[in-house]
Structure 1
Amino acid sequence: MVIINNFEEYKSHEGKQLGESEWHTIDQAQINKFADATLDHQWIHVDKEKAESDGPFKSTIAHGYLTLSLIPYLWKQIADVRNVKMEINYGIENLKFGQPVLVDNHVQLRAKVKSIVNLRGVVKATIEATLAIKDNPKPAYVGDVVFLYHFA
């Protein structure tokens, strides 16, 4: 894990691979809870029998937005940004989904610091986020996650 205490330390990582999270397994229980939370009960996510018999992946798959919602959790395994009064998830840019995440797949976030800008005291960090799927050469997605930090 990388520890970042201030803008200057963050800036020193610009253009570099910052690290990788631990592997996380997305199981059917997590998919079902996400379906309940978002009211998205499409059969390809929650109906195991239909997904296996009629689905293109022969398995249920995680919601794309479920995989995105893991970014804050997995990011905290890569970087410990300290001395922050407030951190805001500002946006996601240029995101492309490449592969579905099948039930019980293991995923890992890989993060590269694309840019760090100090906007009059608010630090804008753009992180290239890649969600790798274990034993799959193609990632679930690649996109730029933007965080805003108010350092103390």
Structure 2
Amino acid sequence: MTTTVAYADLPSLVGQDLGFTDWIEVTQERVNVFADATDDDQWIHTDPERATAESPFGGPIAHGFLTLSLTIPFITELLDVEGVTTKVNYGLDKVRFVSPVKVGARVRMGAVIAEVTEVAGGYQLVIDQTIEIEGGTKPAVVARGLSRFYA
């Protein structure tokens, strides 16, 4: 479910739990496209036969940075800020790749607004993001993301 807020009301979001996104499947095709885009074609990601036979994960896994990159579409699913001219992914304060995401697994993200700070011409949100694996006992990624919104 998307939280929709007016730009002027961003400071009121501190502590707001945005809930969870829908689940998405991490397919081999997505992994291969990411490998091509990043020139990271390590066999644990792109060679299902070898990964099944030789890797400690029992099959191919998504790149950690692929899983992390999903925070962008996930946060846009969770938060819509009305009255902005520009949205900027400002970076990350902390990232941990806790558990590998096997190809074929489904993931989703939960997010909480930890801080809202006024910056020149806008607001910066610090968002605690957790990407979980369906049926998993530990998250795939835990990150503290920084997003900026300008009116």
2:145 corresponds to: 145
Give % identity.
34
Question: Deviation string for 1:63-115 (max 9, x for gaps)?
Answer: 01111111111111111112111111111111111000000110001110000
Q: How far off its partner does 1:120 sit?
A: 3.7
Scaled by the length of structure 1, the TM-score of the pair is 0.95
Report the aligned-residue RMSD. Answer: 1.0
1:6 corresponds to: 7
1:134 corresponds to: 134
Tell which deviates more after alignment, 16-25 or 104-113: 16-25
Is the contact between residue 10 and residue 123 of structure 2 (CA under 8 Å) also seen in structure 1? no
SS in structure 2 of the partner of residue 12 of structure 1: helix
1:53 corresponds to: 53
- CA distance in 1 between partners of 2:34 and 2:57 (Å): 20
Where does structure 1 lack aligned partners over 5 or more consecutive residues? none
1:39 corresponds to: 39
Q: How far off its partner does 1:125 sit?
A: 0.4
Question: Deviation string for 1:28-64 (max 9, x for gaps)?
Answer: 0000010011110000000011100100001100001
- CA distance in 1 between partners of 2:17 and 2:39 (Å): 36
- CA distance in 2 between partners of 1:68 and 1:2 (Å): 21
- CA distance in 2 between partners of 1:108 and 1:134 (Å): 8
Where does structure 2 lack aligned partners over 5 or more consecutive residues? none
Equivalent residues in 2 for 1:3-152, closer than 5 Å: 3-7=4-8, 9-151=9-151
Is the contact between residue 105 and residue 133 of structure 2 (CA under 8 Å) also seen in structure 1? yes
Q: In structure 1, give the amino acid aligned to 2:49.
A: E
- CA distance in 1 between partners of 2:122 and 2:36 (Å): 36
Runs of 4+ more than 3 Å apart: none
Q: In structure 1, give the amino acid aligned to 2:96.
A: K
Q: In structure 2, give the amino acid aligned to 1:35.
A: A
Q: In structure 1, give the amino acid aligned to 2:62.
A: A
Q: In structure 2, give the amino acid aligned to 1:136.
A: G
SS in structure 2 of the partner of residue 3 of structure 1: strand
Scaled by the length of structure 2, the TM-score of the pair is 0.95
Q: How far off its partner does 1:12 sit?
A: 1.8
